[in-house]
Structure 1
Amino acid sequence: MISNRKLLFSITAIILSVYFLFLGLSKAKGFFAPLITAVILSLVVLPLSKRLENFMKRPLAALLNSLLLFVISIGFMTLISFQIRSFTEDWPKIQETMKPKIEQLKTFALEHTPLESKDIKEAQNNSSIKDARISERVTTFISKLSSFIANYLLTFVYVFFLLNYRHIFRNFLLRIMPDKKKNTVETIISKSAKVAPQYLIGKLMLMALLAVLYSVGLGISGVNNFILVSVIAALLTLIPYVGNVIGFTMAVAFGFLSSGDITVLIGIALTFTITQFVESYVLQPYVVGDRVDVHPFFVILVVILGNMVWGILGMILAIPIMGILTVVLLHINELRPLGILLSKQGFDNNK
C-alpha cells in the first residue's frame, strides 16, 4: 500500500513538474527563444568558425559567422516579403476572378445546407472590422514587431558571444563533473555539437532537390512566379509538416486564385502529392537519413509540443533540440532507457 502511494506521488510530481516546466518556457519565450535559437545557430556554423580561426583570431571569426547568419536571414525575409508584395498587387485580380466562384458557393450552400441568406449576410457583417478595432490591431502589431526586431537582433549578438567564448562553457561543464565522468562529458559535447550541422546539411540538400521538383511541377501547372514559389515552399520544409501545408496554400494563392482555372489547381495538388511522396519515401531516408537520431513518432510529438510552447519557432527548433537531448540521454547510464526510447536505433533493434 505504501509503495503504491509512493508510485502515485512520484507520477503526480513528474506530471506537475513537466507541466510547469513547459508553462514556464512558454511564459519566458522572450528570454529563452532567442537564446536557444542562438545556441542552435552557433552549433550550425561552429565547423566554419573553427576553419576561419586557422586564418584569423577567434573574435573576428565569430563576428563574420554572426554577420553571415544575419545576411542569410535577411535574404530569406526578403524572399517572403517579395512574395507577399506580389500577392498584394494581384489581390484585385484574384477578387475579380474568384467572385463568380464565391457566388456559386453561396448558392450551393443555400440550396444544400440549412443556411439562409440572412445567416450569410450576418457573417459578412461580423467580418467587417470597425475603426476602433483597426487602431487596436495596429497598436498590437507595432508592439509585437518591436519585440520581434529586438529578439531578432539579440539572437545574433548571442551567436557572437557563444562562438567567441565557447571554451568557457566547455570548461565549466568539465570542472563541475567528477574526473571519472569527464570522458563521458567530452563525448556528449562532441556528439551534441554535430547534431545541428548534420541536420542542417541534410535539410539543405533536401530543400534543393525539393525546389527543383516543385519548379518543374508548378511550372507545368501554370503557377505565376513558380520558381520563387518553389524556393519558398522548399525553405518552408524547415517547419516540419506544417511547412508543406503553407507551401501548398501559397501555390494555390498564386496559381488557382489568380487564374481561376481548375486544371491549375489539379496540377498543384498533383505536384505537391507526388513531391511529398518522393520526399517521404525516397529523399528523406537517403538524404537526411540518420543525421538526427530521433524516431519519427517522437518527432511529431515534439513538433506539436514546440508549437504549443513557442509557435512556429518552437516547431523549427524542436527536432535539433530533441536530437541533442537524445544524445545526452544515451550517454548517461541512469537515463539511457529514455534515450533508447526516443532514438530510431532503439526501435530498429527491437524489430
Structure 2
Amino acid sequence: MTDIQKLWALAALLVMAVLVVMLEAILMPFLVGALLAYLGDPLADRLEERGLGRTLAVTLVFVSLSSVVVIGILLTIPLIGRQLDLLATKIPQWLHAIQDVLIPWLQRTMDLPKDSLPITQFRTVLTENWTSAGGLLGQIWSKVAGSSVAMLTGLANLVLIPVVTFYLLRDWDVLMARLRDLLPRSIEPTVAGLANECDEILGAFIRGQLLVMLALGIIYTIGLKMVGLDLALILGLTAGLASIVPYMGFIVGIAAAGIAAWFQFHELSMLLAVGGVFAVGQMLEGMVLTPLLVGDRIGLHPVAVIFAIMAGGQLAGFTGVLLALPVAAVIMVLLRHAHSSYKDSKLYSADGL
C-alpha cells in the first residue's frame, strides 16, 4: 500500500469506530440481522447451486431459521421461568444447609472459631438484596412499560431484526462484490485473501461453535434430567452457553450441577452420575461434534475469545459484544501475516543489522 492508501484506510477505520460509538443505541438490530444473514448465506448459496433463484432460496432459509427461533423461544421460555422460580425457592434452603451442615463441619475440621464464618449475616444480606433486586426489576419494568417511547423502540428493534436479516441475506453476495469492487486494484487481491481467512475463522467458530453449544446444551439438559436434577434445564443451557470457550462449559457445568446435585440428593452416587453426564458430553464434543461441525479449521484461541468478549462489552456494551469476535478474527489474521512478514524480513534474519 502507498502512504496515501494507508492514510485513507486509517481514516476509514477511525470513522467507523466513531460511528459505532455514536450510533450504538440503534445498531443492535442491524448487527444481529447481519450476523443472522452471515450464518444463513452458505445455506442460501447451496440452494442456489441446486437451481433455486436467490429470492426463493433466501425465503426458504429465512422461514426455516425463523421457525427454529420461534419454536425454541416458545418451548424454552416457560420452562426457564418455572426453573427460575424453583431456583428462587431453593437458594434459602441451600443457605440453611450451608449453615447447619457445611459450616459446622468446616469449623470442626479446620478448628475455626465459632463466629469466623458469618453465614447468618451473609444469608440476611443476600435475602435483602434478592428482595431489592426483585423490586428494582419491577420498577424498571413499570417504567419501561409505562413509557410508550421505550416500548415502541423495543418493539421496533424486534421487528427490524427479521426485516434486516431478510434483505441482507438476499443481497449478501451483491454487497460483498460491491465492497470488493471499491478496493484499490493494487491491494484488492491481498485484502480479498485476508477476508477469506477471516471468513474461514469466523465460519469455523461462529457457525460451528454455535451448533456445538446448542448440541451440548441439549445433551447436558437431557442427561441431567435423566439423573433427576430439578434444575436440569438451567444448568444444561448454562453449560452449553459457556461452551463458547472450549472446556469452559464442562468446568462451569460440572461444578454448578455437582453443587445442585449434592444439595438435592446428599448422595455421592449422584455426584458420580453428574460427572458421567459431563464426561459423556465432553467425549461427544471431542470425538463427534467438533470434528463434524467445526472441522479442522483453525478457530480463535479460548483466551482471545474471553478477552474479545470482555473488551467489546467494556468498550461498547452489547454492540461491542456483537462486534468482538469479527474484530478479533481480523486482528488474528493480521497478526499472523505480520508475524510471517517479520520472519521473512531483514530485521529478523541474522544479517539484518
**What TM-score results when the alignment is normalised by the length of structure 2?**
0.64
Amino acid at match of 2:142: T
| Equivalent-residue separation in structure 2 for 1:271 and 1:26 (angstroms) | 46
CA contact (8 A) 1:41 1:159 kept: yes
Equivalence for 2:172: 166
Amino acid at match of 1:336: H
Q: Does 1:294 align with 2:300?
A: yes
CA contact (8 A) 2:205 2:300 kept: no
| Equivalent-residue separation in structure 1 for 2:279 and 2:228 (angstroms) | 17
Equivalence for 1:37: 32
Please provide the CA RMSD for this pair.
4.9
Which piece of structure 1 moves more, 315-324 or 166-175?
A: 315-324
SS at match of 2:187: helix
* Offset at residue 42 of structure 1 (A): 1.8
| Equivalent-residue separation in structure 1 for 2:234 and 2:242 (angstroms) | 13
* Offset at residue 302 of structure 1 (A): 0.9
The sequence identity of aligned pairs, in percent, is: 19
Amino acid at match of 2:74: T
Cα offsets for 1:155-213 (capped at 9, x unmatched): 22222222222344234323322223333344344444444433345326644764586
Q: 2:80 aligns with which of 84, 88, 92?
A: 84
CA contact (8 A) 2:241 2:249 kept: yes
| Equivalent-residue separation in structure 2 for 1:105 and 1:45 (angstroms) | 52
Q: Does 1:104 align with 2:105?
A: no
Q: 1:49 aligns with which of 16, 37, 44?
A: 44
Equivalence for 2:142: 139
Which piece of structure 1 moves more, 317-326 or 274-283?
A: 274-283
SS at match of 1:49: helix
Q: 1:261 aligns with which of 263, 266, 285?
A: 266
Q: Does 1:156 align with 2:162?
A: yes
CA contact (8 A) 2:33 2:162 kept: yes
5+ residue gaps, structure 2: 1-9, 108-112, 343-353
5+ residue gaps, structure 1: 1-13, 342-351
Amino acid at match of 2:337: R
CA contact (8 A) 1:39 1:159 kept: yes
Cα offsets for 1:83-133 (capped at 9, x unmatched): 323315646873785474265279759933274978865775565449985
Which piece of structure 1 moves more, 114-123 or 289-298?
A: 114-123
1:1-351 → structure 2 map (5 Å cutoff): 25=20, 28-53=23-48, 54-88=50-84, 90=86, 94=90, 98=94, 100-101=96-97, 104=100, 111-113=114-116, 115=118, 124=127, 128-129=131-132, 133=136, 136-140=139-143, 142=145, 149-203=155-209, 206-207=212-213, 210=216, 214=220, 218=224, 221-224=227-230, 226=232, 228=233, 232-233=237-238, 235-237=240-242, 239-240=244-245, 247=253, 251=257, 255=261, 259-263=264-268, 266-267=271-272, 270-271=275-276, 274=279, 286=291, 288=294, 290-309=296-315, 315=321, 318-327=324-333, 329=334, 336-337=337-338
* Distance change in 2, residues 1:260/1:317 (3 Å): farther
SS at match of 1:179: coil
SS at match of 1:112: coil
Cα offsets for 1:128-166 (capped at 9, x unmatched): 449985652323564777655543432222222222223
Equivalence for 1:344: none
SS at match of 1:180: coil
| Equivalent-residue separation in structure 2 for 1:150 and 1:29 (angstroms) | 16
Equivalence for 2:6: none
**What TM-score results when the alignment is normalised by the length of structure 1?**
0.64
CA contact (8 A) 2:216 2:285 kept: no
Amino acid at match of 1:32: L
Amino acid at match of 1:69: L
